[in-house]
Amino acid sequence: GAPLRVAAVDLGATSGRVMAATVAPGHLALTEVHRFANGAVPVRGSLYWDVVGLHREVLAGLRAVARSGPLHGIGIDSWAVDYGLLDRDGALLGNVHSHRDRRTDGVAAEVLRTVPAEELYAVTGLQQLPFNTIYQLVAARGTAALESAETLLLLPDLLAYWLTGEVGAERTNASTTQLYDVSAREWSTDLARRVGVPWAILPPLRDAGDRIGWVSPDVAAGLDLAQDVPVIAVGSHDTASAVVGVPAGEEEFGYISSGTWSLVGLELEKPVLSEAARVADFTNEGGVDGTVRLLKNVMGLWVLSECVRSWTEQGLAGTDLPTLLAGAGEAPALRTVVDINDPALLAPSTALDPMPDRVVALAARAGEPVPEHRMALVRCVLDSLALAYRRHLRTAADLAGRRLEVVHVVGGGSQNALLCQLTADACGLPVLAGPAEAAALGNVLVQARTLGADLPDLAAMRTLVRATHGLRRHEPRGGHDWDAAEARLDAAR
Ligand code: LFR
C-alpha cells in the first residue's frame, strides 16, 4: 500500500521533539521536524512543568509535519508519573508539578504506615520512587485543586486531550502511578481509597494502539489539516515506547533506555512479584501488547547534564560535552565510584547546592578518592553509572531466571560511546548501541500497526528497526576490576 506518514511527539525532561515518520514494507524513516528545550520551572518553592508551553511546541511541530506532506496519525509519549487535574469544565487546575518537586519528601514513609510495603508491591509491583503519582497525590490532599478535581490526566493524555477533547489513561503510563493493579490491569480504586486519594478522578483506561479520537476542528484549523487526523494511543510512557524500539533479535537481551533517566531491565510476559523482587526494589511497569518491563530507575545522564549546567552557569570554559567526555576517556578508570542512585542527586542543581559538589560529597562519604578536576568527576559519574547498570542487569536476570547474551542501549545516551563501552566492560557483555530515537520509533510503529501496517507483533516491529537503523557494537574489554569497585561501594554502604 501507499506509505503511511505519522507524527511522533516524544517529550523528555530536558528536550522535546516532534518527528515525521514514513512506514512502508521494509521501510521506516524518521525526520526530526521540531526540537525544543524543556525543563521544570521553579516558582515560589515549587517545581512545575510549563505544560501550556509544551502544548504550543506540540502544535508548532504538528503544523510543520502537516505542511510537509500527508498526515495519517499522531502519537504522544513522555516521561511518566506526572499529571494535570481538570475541573468539571475540563479546565486545567493549576500548574503541573514536576516529580522532582520536594512536596513528596517523607510522604512515602507516611503511606507505608497505612498500606504495608509488601501489600503495595503485591498489587502494583512498583519500585519505591519517592515521586510515584500516589505519593504526589497524597502530598496534594487537602489542596483546593485536588478537592475540585474531576479528572486526572497523565501528561501525554493531557496533551492528547487538548488535541481531541477525549479523556483517558493509557495503560503503560497508568502502570507507573502506583495506583494500578498490575495483575488485574485496572486501577486499584481500593488502594486509592485507603490512602485518601479521590479514586473517581482516575479516567477510563485504554491500550496502546487504541484510537483516542480525532483532532478537534478548532485545532485542525490551526494546523491547516486537510483531512481528519486520528490521535492514536501509543506506549505513552516514553520508556514503554523506547522498549518497543529496541532492535532486539533472537538473543536474550537486557536493555538500557538511556536519557535523563536510565531505565535498566528486561522485557517479560508476566510481572515478578516475589519478595526478592520487592527487596531489590524492581519495578514491573506495563509494556506495549501486555508485556511487563521489569526494570530499575538509575539516576542517568541527569547527573552529568546537571553538572554541565552548573559549570556553564559558573561561566567556566571547556564545559561542552565532547570536551568533557574526551577528557573523561583519558582519566584513570574506576578511581572514584559513588552510589549514583543516592537521593541527594535527585533535585536540580542550584547555585547554593551545585550538582558537582554533591557528587564530591558522596565520594568523600564513601571514603573514595575525591575527584580533583572536572574530567575526573565526569569519569566518576560514568563509571558509577556503568557499575549501577551491571548490578541491576544481573539482579534483573536473577529475578527472572534468565541468562543475558546482549545489552541494548537505546535513547540519547546510546550516542555516548564512552558510556556504552564502559557498560560493555562492566557487564561483561556486548553492548548494541542505538537507535537514539527508540522512543519515537516505538511510538511510530504502534501507530502504523493501528493504521494497517503489517506489523503483527513486537518481533516484527523490532525486525524493521534492525533492518533500517545502524547499530554500534561494543565488545567487553577486560583489564579493569569492576568486582573490586562494586565491593568498595558495598562496603561503604
Ligand atoms: C524516563 C521516565 C522514567 C520515569 C521517569 C519519571 O523519561 O519516564 O521511566 O520513571 O521518567 O517519569
CA of 238, closest atom in ligand 1:
8
The C-alpha cell that represents 250 in the structure block: 533472537
Q: Is the pLDDT of residue 227 over 90?
A: no
Please tell me the distance between residue 239's alpha carbon and the centre of ligand 1 in angstroms. 7
Please tell me the distance between residue 82's alpha carbon and the centre of ligand 1 in angstroms. 9
Please tell me the distance between residue 298's alpha carbon and the centre of ligand 1 in angstroms. 10
- Cα–Cα distance, 154 to 309 (Å, whole number): 28
Q: Among 49, 176, 294, 346, say which to mutate for ligand 1: greatest number of ligand atoms within 8 Å of CB.
A: 176
pLDDT tens profile 86-118: 999 999 999 999 999 999 999 999 999 999 999
CA of 129, closest atom in ligand 1:
10
Measured between alpha carbons, how far is residue 188 from residues 181, 193, 210, 219 in Å?
5, 9, 22, 34
Output the average pLDDT for the chain. Answer: 97
pLDDT tens profile 424-473: 999 999 999 999 999 999 999 999 999 999 999 999 999 999 999 999 99
What is the model's pLDDT at position 307? 98
What is the model's pLDDT at position 426? 98
Task: Tell me which amino acid residue 227 is.
Answer: Q
pLDDT tens profile 324-373: 999 999 999 999 999 999 999 999 999 999 999 999 999 999 999 999 99
Q: Among 9, 47, 81, say which to mutate for ligand 1: greatest number of ligand atoms within 8 Å of CB.
A: 81
Q: What amino acid positions are annotated as catalytic residues?
A: 238
Contact 132, 112 (CB under 8 A): no
Length of the chain: 493
The C-alpha cell that represents 80 in the structure block: 511518566
Measured between alpha carbons, how far is residue 388 from residues 241, 273, 406, 437 in Å?
23, 22, 17, 23
Long-range contacts of 390-393 (CB under 8 A, 24+ apart): 390/423, 390/426, 390/427, 390/482, 390/486, 391/486, 392/264, 392/265, 392/295, 392/296, 392/298, 393/254, 393/256, 393/264, 393/265, 393/427, 393/429
The C-alpha cell that represents 469 in the structure block: 537503523
- Cα–Cα distance, 298 to 256 (Å, whole number): 10
Q: Which residues contact 481 (CB under 8 A, 6 or more apart)?
A: 334
Please tell me the distance between residue 181's alpha carbon and the centre of ligand 1 in angstroms. 19
Please tell me the distance between residue 238's alpha carbon and the centre of ligand 1 in angstroms. 7
CA of 131, closest atom in ligand 1:
6
Complex ipTM tops 0.85: yes
Is the CB–ligand 1 distance for residue 80 below 6 Å? Answer: yes
Smallest CA separation from ligand 1 atom 6, residue: 80
Q: Among 132, 237, 301, 392, say which to mutate for ligand 1: greatest number of ligand atoms within 8 Å of CB.
A: 237
- Kind and range of the H or E run holding 173: helix 171-174
Strand-strand pairing, 15-24 and 4-11: antiparallel
Q: Among 17, 97, 158, 261, say which to mutate for ligand 1: greatest number of ligand atoms within 8 Å of CB.
A: 261
pLDDT tens profile 1-14: 689 999 999 999 99
Please tell me the distance between residue 70's alpha carbon and the centre of ligand 1 in angstroms. 32
pLDDT tens profile 272-299: 999 999 999 999 999 999 999 999 999 9
Query: What is residue 47's three-state secondary structure?
Result: strand
What is the model's pLDDT at position 376? 98
pLDDT tens profile 20-51: 999 999 999 999 999 999 999 999 999 999 99
Q: How confident is the model at residue 226 (pLDDT cuts 50, 70, 90)?
A: confident
Smallest CA separation from ligand 1 atom 8, residue: 79
Handedness of CA 301, 302, 303, 305 (dihedral sign): positive
CA of 300, closest atom in ligand 1:
1
Burial 311-328 (b: 16+ CB within 10 A, else e): beeeeeeebeeeebbebb
Please tell me the distance between residue 100's alpha carbon and the centre of ligand 1 in angstroms. 11
Over range 136-165, report the average pLDDT.
98
Is the CB–ligand 1 distance for residue 79 below 6 Å? Answer: yes
Smallest CA separation from ligand 1 atom 2, residue: 79
Q: Is the pLDDT of residue 493 over 90?
A: no
Asked if omega into 354 is within 30° of 0 (cis), the reply is no
Is the CB–ligand 1 distance for residue 263 below 6 Å? Answer: yes
pLDDT tens profile 164-186: 999 999 999 999 999 999 999 99
Smallest CA separation from ligand 1 atom 4, residue: 80
DSSP codes joined into one string, 203-265: PPEE-TT-EEEE--HHHHHHHT-SS--EEE----BHHHHHHHT----SS-EEEEEESSSEEEE
User: 213 — alpha (psi -120 to 50), left (phi > 0) or beta?
Assistant: left
Alpha carbon 263 to its chain's center: 7
- Cα–Cα distance, 97 to 192 (Å, whole number): 20
Alpha carbon 438 to its chain's center: 12
Is the CB–ligand 1 distance for residue 261 below 6 Å? Answer: yes
Q: Is the pLDDT of residue 213 over 90?
A: yes
